[in-house]
Structure 1
Amino acid sequence: MGIIRAVPDLERVVGKRPLPVMMKSIDHLDPHCRTLLSHSPAAVLGYVDVEGRQRAEMVGGAPGFAVAETKSRLRLPVSADAAPRTGAALLVLVPGWRETLRINGTLDEGGLRVEEAFLHCGKAVIRSNFWDPAAAPEDAVEEGPTLGHAAAAFLATARFAVIASRDGDGRADASPKGDPPGVVRMIGPTTVVLADRPGNRRTDTFHNVVERPDVALVVVAPGDTRTLEIVGKAVISTEAELRESMTERNRTPKAVLKVEIETVRLARSAAVRDAGLWDTARHVDRADLPRPSTIWTDHLKLNEASGVAAKLLRAGVKERLVRAGLDRDYRENL
């Protein structure tokens, strides 16, 4: 079985991270970020608990649950078992919108010290048809070291997941994944796998796992107010049979994330329930939000990366070209 254990091997399989992609991030909360946060009722928070384990949970319940107190500090609800001064990451959901906002930083008292913010493309939301709910097949809860009947049934209907991870220096990330039902596939009571689908091409999770295998997943089945948290150790597999088994839309993933489970928790989520994510009356009017292409254009211009190539990108980026490229990407690379 092929397991990727080094960055050069990873980049030979999935490619290097392009400069234009990396320059879509900024080191503070600009007005675009503040607008999205003001409309968001829920997010997934990846954090480290006091025992040093990677964790992830849905937080929020109403728009404004996360408040930008300054450009570099975000006040938000933090679990009582979260370890202070450790890397944490937030994936922000805006009801009815296909893009997501990612904010990475360090936990401090009652909030997050912001170190990076960027808009994530909408492919995971589109592939999962996230805003179209399905009826929950049951309402059972479950907790333990393995996937039992209730968790397995939940995974069979789930179409969206967020993976929280950290690199070797403790910098955190929370990355969305979306597919038809079974986005996180159970291949045994203690093992799940996720395919690498086309996305924003940052491959943050893979780079992190090469350095630190600890991950936590929050799995969501749209329409179900439960969430499933899976905590474990991950590896990146290039095994041909496994990759081929996860072919979707005639495209076989280049790599698969394989997670060996340590703990499972399927529980009702007050944040999901109170946020009313699938209540169309609460979905945000797109006219109240900036265009994604505008956000990416402005963030590219705000990015302070050095070098001639970065300078040329800042000078040459045009919103209409970004918008055209985005539309084509969504059509051709789902």
Structure 2
Amino acid sequence: MRTICDVAELEHVVGSRSLPVMMKSIDRLDSHCHALLGRAPAAVLGYVDTEGRPRAAVVGGAPGFAAPETSARLRLPVPADAAQGTGAALLVLLPGWRETLRINGTVDRGGLAVEEAFLHCGKAVIRSNLWGPGEGGTADTEEGTVIGPAAEAFLATAPFAVIASHDHEGNADASPKGDPPGVVRPIGPTTVAVADRPGNRRTDTFHNILERPEVAIVAVAPGDDRTLELTGTATISTEPELRESMSERRSTPKAVLVVEVAQVRLRHTPALRESRLWDAEWHVDPGELPKPSAIWTDHVKLNETSGAKAKVVRTMANEKMLRTGLDLDYRQNLY
């Protein structure tokens, strides 16, 4: 199988990280983050457990479950097996809203010491129709070292997943992936594949995997209170046949994430049931939230990257222009 082994090859295939894209992040929680967290009932947390293994879990249960104590610290229900002082990443879900808030930091006394916050584009949520009506699931659960029939059936219905990864310094990332049902595709009893689709163009997951290939994936299916967590070792494939097999809307992904699975956990998840993510009556009204274009504009201006080029990016940041470009991008570059 053809795989990408270094950053130069990765950027040749999927593109490099541009300065304006990277400047959409800030190193603290601002008023926009506070507003979004106050309405969010659930999130996916990528973390490291006490045995040093990558994990990913849905946490929460009610709006405001993750509460900012300061601009640099977030209180939230951390899993009991999370190792203190290790990198963790939070992908915050607001039901009915297409964008997601991402907060990266370090597990610290029942919360997260915040090191980075940024808004992720809504393409994964749009492609997955995440907030559409769900059919519900069965009561089947499954745990083991292979993808059994219950896990395979669940993956066939799941349009949305989050991949948790870490770099060689232990910094964490939790990246959303969305497609029609089957976003995580089994290609063997212990192997799954996830296509790389257009997103925020940071390619954090791929960069992390080149340094530290261990990952955790958590998949969800609308209306189902179960989650499927897969942990294992990832590679980045450019195999033509695999890429072609994962084409959508006549668009072939430039790369595919392939994970050799070591552990499978299909479980009922109280946070999903309690947060009522797929109850339309509990969905947020996007009109009551800050405009994504305003959040990105403000975050660019708050970003403290030094240098002449960064100063130009801050000066040129314009909410109206960004909003127009964003709407066009969502229409034309979904795949």
Letter in structure 2 aligned against 1:310: A
Aligned to 1:35: 35
Partner of 1:123: 123
Cα distance per residue 1:115-137 (max 9 Å; x no partner): 00000000000000000132135
Q: Is the 8 A contact 2:54 2:164 kept in 1?
A: yes
Aligned to 1:302: 302
Distance 1:219 1:285 in 2: 25
Percent identity of paired positions between Structure 1 and Structure 2:
69
Count residues with an aligned counterpart: 334
Q: Distance in 2 between matches of 1:4 and 1:52?
A: 25
Confirm or deny: 8 A CA contact 2:134 2:278 kept in the other structure.
no
By how many angstroms is 1:197 displaced? 0.1
Residue 174 in structure 1 maps to residue 174 in structure 2:
yes
Give the partner amino acid of 2:186: M
CA–CA distance in 2 between the matches of 1:285 and 1:255?
35
Letter of the structure 2 residue corresponding to residue 26 of structure 1:
I
Shift of 1:95: 1.2
- 1:251 alignment partner AA: S
- 1: CA distance, partners of 2:198 / 2:285: 27
Residues 69 and 75, structure 2, Cα contact 8 Å, conserved in 1: yes
> Unaligned stretches of 5+ in structure 1?
none
Task: Specify the alignment match of 1:183 in structure 2.
Answer: 183
Question: Once the 2 structures are TM-superposed, how far is the Cα of residue 187 of structure 1 from its aligned partner?
Answer: 0.6
TM-score (norm: length of structure 2): 0.99
Matched letter for residue 251 of structure 2: R
Contact 2:247 2:253 in 1 (8 A): yes
Q: Deviations over 1:25-66 (max 9, x none)?
A: 000000000000000000000000000000000000000110
Match of 1:329 in 2: 329
Q: CA RMSD in A?
A: 0.6
Structure 2: runs of 5+ lacking an equivalent: none
Distance 1:6 1:212 in 2: 12
Aligned to 1:285: 285
Q: 1:270 aligns to what?
A: 270
Greater than 3 Å deviation, 4+ residue runs: none
How many Å separate the matches in 2 of 1:49 and 1:211? 19
Residue 224 (structure 1) aligns with: 224
Deviations 1:66-114 (A, max 9, x none): 0000000000001111100000000000110000000000111100000
Q: What is the distance in 2 between the residues matched to 1:174 and 1:56?
A: 9
Q: Which amino acid aligns with 1:289?
A: L
* Number of the residue aligned with 2:92: 92
Q: What one-letter code is carried by the residue in structure 2 that aligns with 1:34?
A: H
Secondary structure of the equivalent of 2:266? strand
Say which SS state the counterpart of residue 92 (structure 2) adopts: strand
**1:255 counterpart = 2:269:** no
Q: Which secondary structure does the structure 2 equivalent of 1:4 belong to?
A: coil
1:181 counterpart SS class: coil
Q: In the TM superposition, what is the alpha-carbon distance from 1:138 to its structure 2 partner?
A: 2.2
